[in-house]
Amino acid sequence: MSTLERLAVLADGAKYDVSCASSGVNKQNKGGIGNSKSFGICHTWSADGRCVSLLKLLLTNYCIYNCHYCINRNQNDIPRASFTPREVADLTIQFYRRNYIEGLFLSSGIERSPNHTMERIYQVLDILRHEYHFYGYIHVKVIPGADPALVNKTGLLADRMSINIEQPTEQSLKLLAPQKTLPVLFAPMNQINNQMTQNASERKIFRHVQKFVPAGQSTQMIVGASKDSDLSIIKATETLYNRFQLKRVYYSAYVPVNEGPNLPALSTSPPLLREHRLYQADWLLRFYSFKADEIVNEQSPFLDTDFDPKISWALRNMQLFPLEINQASYEELLRIPGVGVTSAQRIILQRRLGNISYNHLKKMGVVLKRAKYFITCQGCYYGGIPAESALVRQALAPVAKPVQLCLF
Ligand code: SF4
pLDDT at position 63, please? 95
Q: Please tell me the predicted confidence (pLDDT) of residue 225.
A: 92
State the sign of the Cα–Cα–Cα–Cα dihedral 293, 297, 298, 301: negative
324-335 pLDDT, tens digit each: 999 999 999 999
Q: Which residue's alpha carbon is at the smallest distance from atom 3 of ligand 1?
A: 109
Q: Contact, 95 vs 101, CB < 8 A? A: yes
CB-facing half-sphere around the CA of 15: CA atoms within 13 A: 18
Q: CA–CA separation, 83 vs 89, rounded Å?
A: 10
Q: Which of 10, 60, 63, 226 to mutate to test the pocket of ligand 1 (most atoms within 8 A of CB)?
A: 63
Q: 65 CB under 6 A from ligand 1?
A: yes
Query: 73: Cβ below 6 Å to ligand 1?
Result: yes
- Domains in the chain (CATH in brackets) are 3-290 (3.20.20.70), 309-396 (no CATH)
62 lines ligand 1 (CB under 6 A): no
Rounded to the nearest angstrom, the distance between the alpha carbon of 177 and the centre of ligand 1 is 8
Q: Is the CB of 252 under 6 A from ligand 1?
A: no
pLDDT of residue 151: 96
CA distance 295 to 385: 25
Pocket perturbation via mutation, ligand 1, pick of 19, 66, 70, 167 by most ligand atoms within 8 A of CB:
70
| The pLDDT of residue 302 | 95
Atom of ligand 1 nearest to the CA of 72: 8
Cα separation, 189 vs 244, whole angstroms: 6
* Pairing relationship of beta strands 160-162 and 217-223 according to DSSP bridges: parallel
CA of 8 to the centre of ligand 1 (A): 18
Which amino acid residue places its CA nearest to atom 6 of ligand 1?
67
Contact 109 CB / ligand 1 (< 6 Å): yes
- Closest ligand 1 atom, CA of 73? 5
SS in 3 state form for the chain? CCHHHHHHHHHHHCCCCCCCCECCCCECCCCCCCCECCCCEEEEECCCCCEEEEEEEECECCCCCCCCCCCCCCCCCCCCCECCHHHHHHHHHHHHHCCCCCEEEEECCCCCCHHHHHHHHHHHHHHHHHHCCCCCEEEEECCCCCCHHHHHHHHCCCCEEECCCECCCHHHHHHHCCCCCHHHHHHHHHHHHHHHHHHHHHHHHCCCCCCCCCCCEEEEEEECCCCCCHHHHHHHHHHHHHHHCCCEEEEEECCCCCCCCCCCCCCCCCCHHHHHHHHHHHHHHHHCCCCHHHHCCCCCCCCCCCCCHHHHHHHHCHHHCCEECCCCCHHHHHCCCCCCHHHHHHHHHHHCCCCCCHHHHHHCCCCHHHHCCCEEECCEECCCCCCCHHHHHHHHCCCCCCCCCCCC
Tell me the sheet residues that pair with 138.
104
Quick one: pLDDT at residue 42?
Answer: 66
Q: What is the pLDDT of residue 39?
A: 52
Q: Is 107 in the pocket of ligand 1 (CB under 6 A)?
A: no
User: How would you classify the pairing of strands 217-223 and 248-253?
Assistant: parallel
Per-residue pLDDT, 56: 87
- For residue 7, what pLDDT is reported? 80
> Rounded to whole angstroms, how far apart are CA atoms 359 and 330?
20
pLDDT at 387: 85
Please list the pLDDT of the chain residue by residue as tens digits (408 residues).
Answer: 888 888 888 877 777 776 655 444 444 555 654 454 545 566 666 656 666 688 888 999 999 999 999 999 999 999 999 999 999 999 999 988 888 888 899 999 999 999 999 999 999 999 999 999 998 889 999 999 999 999 999 999 999 999 999 999 999 999 999 999 999 999 999 999 999 999 999 999 988 899 999 989 999 999 999 999 999 999 999 999 999 999 999 999 999 989 988 899 999 998 999 999 999 999 999 999 999 999 999 988 999 999 999 999 999 999 999 999 999 999 999 999 999 999 999 999 999 999 999 999 989 999 999 999 999 999 999 999 998 889 999 999 888 778 888 877
Check pocket membership of 63 for ligand 1, CB cut-off 6 A: yes
Contact 362, 368 (CB under 8 A): yes
Distance 72 CA to ligand 1 centre (A): 6
CB-ligand 1 contact for 110 (6 Å cutoff): yes
